[in-house]
Structure 1
Amino acid sequence: MTTLDASHPSSRKRGAAAAEKADDPLMVLSVDKAFRVLSAFGRQNPTLNLSQVAAVTGMDISSAQRFTHTLTRLGYLSKDQQTKRFELTAKTLEVGHHFFRSSRLVDRAMPYLMHLSKETEETVNLTMLDGTDIIFVSRFLSRHVLHTDVIIGSRMPAYCSAPGIAMLSRLPEEEALSMLDRSELRQHTPSTIWQREALVAKIGQARDQGYATAFEEFYLGDASIAAPVLDHRGRPDGAVNIAVSCSRYSREEVVTRFSALIIATARAISRI
């Protein structure tokens, strides 16, 4: 496992967010720190020792020790007594479970997503914006193999995903541009559209045509087409997308076959 330190990108991002929240008089910083500890764990860091927790979260060792101890006592972390490394427990799934049980969007979208999945026999996703990322909140898999490791709860940068561009296209222009400016724009693959001027043009195109596409922009071999789900004010509530393999469809076929379906499904779920 890679040794983590305060220069790690996730450490800098969390540190900047913590500094911003410190100016909020109503912010309970201890709650913020507890969630920063939980968020430190993931696919790249399934287990962490105390010094690594401190480095990723931007805490000192003493604070990291108190928070890991408390979260262990509460059942959200477990500690290996031999290696002294921490990892998440299954209890952390409770928060996600409560979201799925209470989300009106997920509940409203479910029958339409199931219908779209059966009609296309392709992978269908429901995503939402979370900061400058999209997060997958529902997913119906195809029998066709996709070379991605996406599961419910996975995140991707909004700017290089079809759902992200679809949702950005329905935000006020200043708000969409602000999100681009706050994003860590970089080229994930040779096909990533990541320069600001090109992204602004892509968002405008998505706004005009009602859907967005992304071809191998984050995962090689992955093609995606998405349309925004709107709330009663016309703002993006989420996005529906179909993901297929580039080996099975050309770019033109993705648009021809799925654009009308994806737009109709998103409109059916929308509250306008």
Structure 2
Amino acid sequence: MVMSVDKAFRVLHAFDSSRPSMSLTQVAAAVGMDKSAAQRFTYTLEKLGYLRKDPVTKRFELTVRTLDLAHHYLRSNAMLERAMPYLMHLSKTTEETINLTVMDGTEIVFVSRFMSRHVLNTDVIVGTRMPAFCTAPGVAILSRLPAAEAAALVDRMDLQDFTPHTTWRREDLLAKIAKSAVRGYATAFEEFYHGDLSVAAAITGPGGVPVGALNIAVSRARFTPEEMEERFAPLVVAAAGSVSQR
């Protein structure tokens, strides 16, 4: 473990929507290092082009170069490349929001997103993370894991009720995962966002191991949960199956 690399990434990860810019003192406090060490790391990251220091305020912020790693990931990810034609086809034929997500720990991460003209959540972009347990893609991925492995992941999750519709009690969640395994897809109706209906199917790799999930999301104002599931579940199952075969 190269601790200096770890600390450099901790400095970069300290910047987010709640802390878009920070003074040297704030960086040190956010990362948990003394001011002298924070000065060395911010200076190095500034020289490498990943941080910018305002000449007037002396505050630091991320630069566009921090997108480089994400760009290289998106350009080199085999699953995304194979899924793209199906994502585009679903987007064109349904005119609804289409997402491709992967699991990272106990969260799902959006790696591709085609927005509908019927705008849902504009704050969800590529790179957005959500708890896996209350999202259709997360449950779909969990449903393709061995039951013991899925249960172990659930035990690591911070289960809570984001809305009155959230399936968050352990027993109920495990039952939902098992049901999703049987029918081949998962649903989440207003479990994380109010007004959001989603259906997802897992994309599997060699040996049936889940590597991601494809989902369609629509507005509760335009569909009932029953209508949404009947219309779009077969489409995501077919698309996810096609990507899995590739």
What is the TM-score with the length of structure 2 in the denominator?
Answer: 0.95
Task: Give 1:43's aligned residue.
Answer: 17
Q: Please list, as runs of the form range in 1=range in 2, the aligned pairs for 1:103-118 lying within 5 A after superposition.
A: 103-118=77-92
Contact 1:215 1:223 survives alignment (8 Å): yes
Of 188, 208, 232, the residue aligned with 1:234 is 208
**Cα distance, 1:236 vs structure 2:** 0.7
Cα distance in 2 for partners of 1:199, 1:91 equals 40
More deviation, 239-248/27-36: 27-36
Cα distance in 2 for partners of 1:160, 1:254 equals 17
Of 28, 45, 48, the residue aligned with 1:74 is 48
Task: Give 1:16's aligned residue.
Answer: none
Contact 1:147 1:221 survives alignment (8 Å): no
| Total equivalences in the alignment | 246
Cα distance in 2 for partners of 1:32, 1:271 equals 38
Cα distance in 2 for partners of 1:176, 1:250 equals 29
Distance 1:160 1:191, change over 3 A: same
Per-residue CA deviations over 1:69-96 (Å, capped at 9, x if unaligned) read: 2111111011123323211100011111
**Cα distance, 1:243 vs structure 2:** 0.8
Is 1:204 aligned with 2:166? no
Is 1:28 aligned with 2:5? no
Cα distance in 2 for partners of 1:249, 1:182 equals 34
Cα distance in 1 for partners of 2:170, 2:158 equals 11
Task: Give 2:111's aligned residue.
Answer: 137
Is 1:121 aligned with 2:95? yes
Task: Give 1:23's aligned residue.
Answer: none
Of 19, 30, 36, the residue aligned with 1:56 is 30
Of 147, 150, 157, the residue aligned with 1:176 is 150
Q: Please list, as runs of the form range in 1=range in 2, the aligned pairs for 1:4-19 lying within 5 A after superposition.
A: none
Cα distance in 1 for partners of 2:6, 2:175 equals 37
What is the TM-score with the length of structure 1 in the denominator?
Answer: 0.86
Per-residue CA deviations over 1:171-196 (Å, capped at 9, x if unaligned) read: 12222122222222222222222221
Paired residue secondary structure (1:233):
helix
Cα distance in 2 for partners of 1:263, 1:133 equals 22
Letter in 2 for 1:66: R
Task: Give 1:85's aligned residue.
Answer: 59
Paired residue secondary structure (2:18):
coil
Cα distance in 1 for partners of 2:69, 2:173 equals 34
Which portions of structure 1, spanning 4 or more consecutive aligned residues, are displaced by more than 3 angstroms? Answer: none
Letter in 2 for 1:43: S
Distance 1:78 1:186, change over 3 A: same
More deviation, 192-201/256-265: 192-201
- Unmatched 5+ stretches in structure 2: none
Of 194, 215, 218, the residue aligned with 2:168 is 194
Distance 1:58 1:185, change over 3 A: farther
Cα distance in 1 for partners of 2:157, 2:57 equals 37
Is 1:157 aligned with 2:131? yes
Cα distance in 2 for partners of 1:123, 1:206 equals 21
Contact 1:78 1:88 survives alignment (8 Å): yes
Task: Give 1:3's aligned residue.
Answer: none
Paired residue secondary structure (2:180):
helix
Letter in 2 for 1:58: G
Letter in 2 for 1:105: M
Letter in 2 for 1:143: R
**Cα distance, 1:148 vs structure 2:** 4.2
Task: Give 2:222's aligned residue.
Answer: 248
**Cα distance, 1:64 vs structure 2:** 2.3
Letter in 2 for 1:68: T
Per-residue CA deviations over 1:209-253 (Å, capped at 9, x if unaligned) read: 111111111111111110000001211110000011111111101
Letter in 2 for 1:258: F
Of 193, 198, 218, the residue aligned with 1:219 is 193
